């Protein structure tokens, strides 16, 4: 079966937000799968409910740190949006294919783990064996098809826990989590994360949050730091910090700005004002990142992209803007601390 209308309603929702930049494929795919199953949560609010706006990591030689909390964030967003789902971790490719076929036959899209998650919308038998139809906004924006050989390569690409995890949203349970409960938990997460300077990953300490902003700005200003240095396999991995590794993180400030603005109306005036101020500061933080993008961010011409990264004047200007964004982030977190204080909630209370 092929669910050919898998992308119904995407354009209408995304066009509501003129000029919006909001990126992170794991959450994008999760929202699209859940929407097909009945979710009507607005796109930026879904991202905000993941809590990703409360995270920011930077390590010049570890671009993948931006993706460390993938499953935590997806689960957070789905839980906070009351999305029912079936999760399956297959032991082999055949088990995975059988699950995909079962879910699609029941009318469900499936989030499938890979380098970036896939949205599976069809499974068919053919003369050359099973065919799996999938979508990804980066690798296959118009959709594509895998046969058995590609599925085997997908299975063999990695062997860590959750490398082949599948999530099939099946419906919505209205009222399971109230909006007030969700926002308090998100604010507690953001405020508690403010205290973290480094995230310990194995033996490595990765700059986190406010400290990560400062570390990134410092590297931008330092002429001894070469963002065009090649990795051992000859790749320009450090340039990810002018592309997806950093876009997926700073664009979350748009989600926070949008969500706190919308949700503030359900609270009493003093609490509402604190959330509105947080929204305003997240919005200003986002605006500074847009300025950063114009100076040194993505560019359609690769040579121009690399030339800008080499230009120390541009790097210094970009660093100044990152510091301005950091300062607005600190103010946003200060407003969120005030919100908790007005509700008499300690910042030491554990996030549920």
Question: Are the CB atoms for 168 and 112 separated by under 8 Å?
Answer: no
Q: In the prediction, which pLDDT does 145 show?
A: 97
Average pLDDT score, the chain: 96
What lies within 8 Å, CB to CB, of 1 at 6+ separation is 101, 104, 105, 122, 123, 124
* Category of 151 on φ-ψ map: left (φ > 0), alpha (ψ -120 to 50) or beta: alpha
Range with lowest mean pLDDT among 19-23, 47-51, 249-253, 305-309: 19-23
Q: How far apart (Å, rounded) are the C-alpha atoms in residues 90 and 286?
A: 39
Angle at 295 between CA 290 and CA 298, to 5 degrees: 75
| Torsion angle (degrees, nearest 10) of CA 247, 250, 256, 258 | -60
- Tell me the pTM: 0.96
* Distance (Å) of CA 244 to CA 128, 134, 323: 36, 21, 20
The C-alpha R_g of the chain, in whole angstroms, comes to: 21
Q: In the prediction, which pLDDT does 18 show?
A: 85
Q: How far apart (Å, rounded) are the C-alpha atoms in residues 281 and 5?
A: 39
Q: What is the mean pLDDT of residues 177-183?
A: 91
Angle at 216 between CA 293 and CA 280, to 5 degrees: 60
Q: How far apart (Å, rounded) are the C-alpha atoms in residues 70 and 167?
A: 13
* Distance (Å) of CA 23 to CA 27, 189, 235, 245, 253: 8, 21, 23, 10, 11
296: which 2 tokens? 């040194």
What lies within 8 Å, CB to CB, of 47 at 6+ separation is 22, 24, 27, 31, 53, 77, 252, 255
Structure-token match 């003369």, residue found:
127
Q: In the prediction, which pLDDT does 159 show?
A: 78
Share of the chain above pLDDT 90, in %: 91
Q: In the prediction, which pLDDT does 177 show?
A: 78
Q: In the prediction, which pLDDT does 349 show?
A: 63
The string of pLDDT tens digits covering residues 197-243 is 999 999 999 999 999 999 999 999 999 999 999 998 999 999 999 99
| Torsion angle (degrees, nearest 10) of CA 225, 229, 233, 236 | 100
If one counts every other C-beta atom within 10 angstroms of the C-beta of residue 178, the result is 11
Q: In the prediction, which pLDDT does 295 show?
A: 99
42: which 2 tokens? 């607005």
Q: In the prediction, which pLDDT does 352 show?
A: 59
pLDDT at residue 78 greater than cutoff 80: yes
Question: Are the CB atoms for 101 and 168 separated by under 8 Å?
Answer: no
Q: How far apart (Å, rounded) are the C-alpha atoms in residues 76 and 62?
A: 24
Domain borders along the chain are 10-40+83-172, 177-342
pLDDT at residue 95 greater than cutoff 80: yes
Q: How far apart (Å, rounded) are the C-alpha atoms in residues 77 and 75?
A: 6
At 128, the pLDDT band (50, 70, 90 cuts) reads confident
Class of domain 10-40+83-172: alpha beta
If one counts every other C-beta atom within 10 angstroms of the C-beta of residue 181, the result is 12
pLDDT at residue 161 greater than cutoff 90: no
Between 43 and 17, whose confidence is greater? 43
What burial class does residue 71 get, using C-beta atoms within 10 Å of its C-beta: 0-12 exposed, 13-18 middle, 19+ buried?
Answer: middle
Q: In the prediction, which pLDDT does 350 show?
A: 64
Q: What is the mean pLDDT of residues 340-348?
A: 88
């Amino acid at each position: 079966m092929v669910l050919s209308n898998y992308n119904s309603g995407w354009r209408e929702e995304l066009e509501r937000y003129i000029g919006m930049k909001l990126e992170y494929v794991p959450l994008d795919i999760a929202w699209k799968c859940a929407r097909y199953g009945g979710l009507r949560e607005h796109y930026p609010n879904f991202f905000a409910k993941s809590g990703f706006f409360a995270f920011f990591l930077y390590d010049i030689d570890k671009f993948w740190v931006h993706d460390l909390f993938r499953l935590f964030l997806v689960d957070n967003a789905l839980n906070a949006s009351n999305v029912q789902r079936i999760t399956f971790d297959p032991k082999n490719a055949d088990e995975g294919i059988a699950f995909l076929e079962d879910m699609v036959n029941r009318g469900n899209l499936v989030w499938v783990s890979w380098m970036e998650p896939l949205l599976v919308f069809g499974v068919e038998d053919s003369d050359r064996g099973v065919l799996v139809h999938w979508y990804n906004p980066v690798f296959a924006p118009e959709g594509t098809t895998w046969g058995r050989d590609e599925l085997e390569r997908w299975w063999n690409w990695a062997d860590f826990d959750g490398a082949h995890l599948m999530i099939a949203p099946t419906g919505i349970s209205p009222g399971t989590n109230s909006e007030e409960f969700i926002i308090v938990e998100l604010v507690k997460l953001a405020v508690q994360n403010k205290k973290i300077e480094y995230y310990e990953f194995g033996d490595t300490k990765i700059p986190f949050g406010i400290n990560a902003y400062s570390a990134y700005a410092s590297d931008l200003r330092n002429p001894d730091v070469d963002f065009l240095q090649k990795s051992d396999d000859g790749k320009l991995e450090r340039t990810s910090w002018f592309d997806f590794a950093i876009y997926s993180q700073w664009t979350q400030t748009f989600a926070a700005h949008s969500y706190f603005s919308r949700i503030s109306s359900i609270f009493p005036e003093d609490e509402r004002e604190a959330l509105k101020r947080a929204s305003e500061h997240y919005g200003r933080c986002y605006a500074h990142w847009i300025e950063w993008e114009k100076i040194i961010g993505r560019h359609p011409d690769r040579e121009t992209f690399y030339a800008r990264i080499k230009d120390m004047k541009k790097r210094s200007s970009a660093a100044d803007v990152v510091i301005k964004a950091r300062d607005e982030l600190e103010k946003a977190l200060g407003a969120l601390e005030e919100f908790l204080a007005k509700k008499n909630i300690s910042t030491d209370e554990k996030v549920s």
